[in-house]
Amino acid sequence: MCMAKYEEQSHGFTYDVFLSFRGEDTQHNFIGYLRDALRQRGINAFFDDKNLRIGEDISPALLKAIEESKISVIVFSENYASSRWCLGELVKIMECTKRNNKQLAFPIFYHVDPSDVRHQRKSYGEAMVAHQNRFGKDSENIKAWTAVLSEVADLKGHHIHTG
């Protein structure tokens, strides 16, 4: 009964779940386990395991996968904000959830404090300074990334503490 209800609610989406993560932090442990658990339960998750090279833009296919996913799970890890691609995914995810109230964003704070994400402290602050040095403090990307990090940290999610 629960699965039928879930499938009914997911109608119209290509993917049940889009996973946004920083591969170097989580791909070979947490994300791998999460992806496998979703697959074992018949949940169709988009998992991009290709590493973009410096200078490459997010592919239109990746942006389309975000648009076509019912739920986006964002795994905030220590180096998530150092990737402009992760931040670009995050902006797109939040745009989609605002535009379509049937799409959901669910943050997981993996060994990072949500307040450090919200206020861009520690590794998140360092990453934003590096991006500002590269793109300029007043660039549209910097403004969008700063705003979306503050916004998403206020969403209900899950905090996995170091242990």
Q: Which residues pair with 18 in a beta bridge?
A: 46, 72
CA distance 151 to 162: 24
Which is catalytic among the residues 56, 68, 78, 89?
A: 89
89 is catalytic: yes
Cα separation values, 54 from 10, 58, 84, 85, Å: 35, 11, 10, 10
Q: Which tokens hold the place of 138?
A: 């007043």
CA distance 107 to 80: 12
Q: Parallel, antiparallel, or unpaired: how do β-strands 69-76 and 15-20 relate?
A: parallel
Residue pointed to by tokens 């669910």: 106
Residue pointed to by tokens 């905030």: 76
Cα separation values, 107 from 26, 61, 74, 158, Å: 14, 22, 5, 6
Active site residues: 89
